[in-house]
Amino acid sequence: MGTGQQQPVADVLLQQVLASFRETPDPRLREIMDALVRHLHACAREVGLSGEERSAAVAFLTAVGHMCTDTRQEFELLSDTLGLSSLVETSSSAEGATLQTLTGPFYSAGAPWRETGDSMNEYPLPEDVRAVVRGTVSDRDGNPIADAILDVWQNASNRLYAVQDSAQPAGNLRGRWRTGADGRYEFVTIKPVSYAIPDDGPVGDMLNATARHPWRAAHIHFLVTADGHRGLTTEIFDADSDYLEDDAVFGVARDLIVEFKPQVDRSVMAEFDFILEAA
């Protein structure tokens, strides 16, 4: 009889699973599946995952799927709260260009077109602080980009986005602007306020179980596009906001924090320049 030590069952199983993906035609898909299986098996072995715990994980993911609707993407929320979204987006940012960040679960295409200087506040609330946001869009060499499109959205002072709140007009705090020949943009909105991500579903249960809060630092979302340039999805954050250090979805970056400076008319003004990478 041989005296060699038998290979552990877990190792044999891992090799069998990896081998099953060996003929995957797409090499990138094969690479991803190989890494996913290796890390998933390693995690289960490291923590000694039990059958009950695996079943609980399946039930959790099933509940996440059931929570998804046309206006709420619970899987996106899960990706955000695990830091995966920020990792992927920020890692794709080009040196010298504005940092890519989260789209978030509340983006809705088809925002109203507006003129330079227009307000996107269609649902004024008593607690609103009028804010002017302006700046430029340029390339990495500092050349202004004319006709760049800024698709902008943010939550209202009641801490809800228009897609969450039937009382708000569909276009409230949403808008699209084009830059001028000098690459400049300007619009009127409200000073952003912090809000809690939806925590009434399975992602909220995960936050509660791990003693985490659901709050996001106050911010405004931007999707900036221009011919010949890579699209930019990013956010700007109010320097006065809470949760800058512990944003629930890890979306805050120092380069994206701006001051909303008080003006004589009790409004505030923020300036931010976007830098796009060539396509």
Ranked by mean pLDDT, which of 4-18, 48-62, 72-86 comes out on top?
48-62
Res. 137: pLDDT tops 50:
yes
Task: Give the list of residues 6+ apart from residue 278 with CB closer than 8 angstroms, or none.
Answer: 139, 140, 228, 229, 230
Res. 65: pLDDT tops 60:
yes
Please, what are the domains in the chain? Answer: 9-67 (no CATH), 74-276 (2.60.130.10)
Average pLDDT score, the chain: 95
pTM for this structure?
A: 0.89
What is the percentage of the chain residues whose pLDDT exceeds 90? 91
pLDDT of residue 72: 82
Task: Give the list of residues 6+ apart from residue 33 with CB closer than 8 angstroms, or none.
Answer: 21, 24
Task: Give the list of residues 6+ apart from residue 158 with CB closer than 8 angstroms, or none.
Answer: 125, 165
pLDDT of residue 73: 87
Bridge partners (DSSP) listed for residue 137: 274
192-248 confidence digits (pLDDT tens)? 999 999 999 999 999 999 999 999 999 999 999 999 999 999 999 999 999 999 999
The radius of gyration of the chain's CA atoms, rounded to the nearest angstrom, is: 23
pLDDT of residue 4: 62
pLDDT of residue 277: 96
Give φ, ψ of 9 to 5 degrees.
Answer: -55, -40
pLDDT of residue 273: 98
Helix (H, G, I), strand (E, B) or coil at 105: coil
Res. 163: pLDDT tops 80:
yes
Q: Which of 269, 274, 273 is nearest to 132 (CA)?
A: 269
Q: How confident is the model at residue 1 (pLDDT cuts 50, 70, 90)?
A: very low
pLDDT of residue 3: 56
Give φ, ψ of 62 to 5 degrees.
Answer: -65, -45
CA distance 147 to 229: 12
pLDDT of residue 71: 75
Stretch 175-184: mean pLDDT: 98
- Interstrand relation of 174-178 and 149-153 (parallel, antiparallel or unpaired): antiparallel
pLDDT of residue 2: 52
Stretch 266-274: mean pLDDT: 98
Stretch 179-185: mean pLDDT: 98
Q: Which of 129, 112, 128, 108 is nearest to 120 (CA)?
A: 112
With the C-alpha atoms ordered 44, 49, 55, 61, is the resulting torsion angle positive or negative? negative
Annotate 107-140 with three-state secondary structure: CCCCCCECCCCCECCCCCCCCCCEEEEEEEEEEC
Q: Which of 213, 219, 166, 221 is nearest to 194 (CA)?
A: 219
Contact 114, 172 (CB under 8 A): no
Stretch 24-30: mean pLDDT: 98
* Structure tokens that stand for 166 in this block: 């039937």
- Interstrand relation of 149-153 and 195-196 (parallel, antiparallel or unpaired): unpaired
Q: Which of 279, 221, 212 is nearest to 246 (CA)?
A: 212
Give φ, ψ of 235 to 5 degrees.
Answer: -140, 155
Res. 187: pLDDT tops 90:
yes
